[in-house]
């Protein structure tokens, strides 16, 4: 049996940007534990002298400690180049689904489902497609950053509701066979996979919409999009609703 992990994070609409985006990386448990985590921690130690902190794009942009050492454009550029150099050769795939909240609300009014539930079922559907494509013994867990008990419980209910009912294209049987537990972790847990997932929702959509990239991060994640093994990036890797 080969186990994979899907690390997920989201970005929510702010200041005129109406997109809600749920995105993350799929990586084998072996590659995660033996390659990604050691390489990121080695870089943290070499660059910052410590590993007990969280890569958070907001804090990086604001140069909040410990990112205050990135006090010039060249240092910031060097930082992201190092992240790209670490991630590029690692075998992982990206899943992303975006929904324009304003358009969604205008069309479906009060009848609509929560956008997290809508995007989550698409992500899980494509995750199961990925697992099936990897072979009959491939299974996966889901890891999401904890918000608070109420929101975590709501999301957990979404997850098990999907396992109970299936999705639009994937039968319940296959979700039950392929998906294991869903885990929630807070920032102090310092989960490296969630830190990489945090970089995706605010960078990948810009590249897909042909807007400015952020230090090449968007293009990196674009190159890792899962295409369903049929060159269908916009169905599997980057699904845009509305």
> What is the pLDDT, as a whole number, of residue 102?
86
- According to DSSP, the β-strands at 138-145 and 2-11 are parallel
Predicted TM-score (pTM) of this structure: 0.94
Give strand pairing partners of 23: 9, 96
CA atoms of 161 and 143, how far apart (whole Å) = 17
Domain that holds residue 171: 2-241
The mean pLDDT of 47-70, rounded to a whole number, is: 95
Average pLDDT of the chain? 92
Q: What is the CA radius of gyration of the chain?
A: 18
Give the count of domains, the chain.
1
CATH number of the domain bearing residue 109: 3.30.420.10
What would the pLDDT profile of 191-207 be if each residue is shown by its tens digit? 999 999 999 998 998 88
Instruction: Name the token pair of 33.
Output: 């534990």
């Amino acid at each position: 049996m080969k186990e994979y992990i899907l690390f997920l994070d989201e970005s929510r609409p702010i200041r005129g940007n109406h997109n809600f985006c749920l995105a993350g990386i799929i990586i084998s448990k072996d590659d995660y534990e033996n390659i990604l985590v050691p390489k990121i921690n080695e870089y943290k130690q070499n660059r910052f002298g410590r590993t007990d902190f969280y890569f958070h794009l907001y804090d990086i942009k604001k140069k909040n400690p410990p990112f205050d050492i990135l006090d010039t454009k060249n240092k910031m550029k060097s930082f992201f180049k190092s992240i790209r150099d670490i991630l590029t050769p690692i075998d992982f795939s990206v899943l992303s689904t975006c929904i324009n909240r304003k358009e969604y609300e205008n069309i479906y009014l009060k009848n609509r489902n929560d956008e997290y539930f809508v995007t989550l079922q698409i992500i899980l559907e494509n995750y199961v497609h990925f697992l099936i494509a990897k072979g009959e013994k491939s299974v996966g867990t889901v890891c999401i950053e904890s918000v608070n008990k109420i929101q975590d419980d709501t999301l957990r209910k979404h997850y098990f509701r999907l396992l109970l009912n299936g999705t639009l294209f994937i039968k319940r049987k296959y979700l039950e066979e392929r998906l294991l537990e869903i885990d929630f972790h807070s920032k102090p847990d310092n989960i490296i996979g969630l830190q990489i997932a945090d970089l995706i929702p605010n960078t990948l959509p810009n590249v897909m919409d042909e807007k400015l990239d952020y230090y090449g991060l968007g293009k990196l994640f674009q190159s890792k999009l899962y295409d369903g093994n049929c060159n269908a990036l916009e169905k599997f890797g980057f699904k845009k609703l509305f």
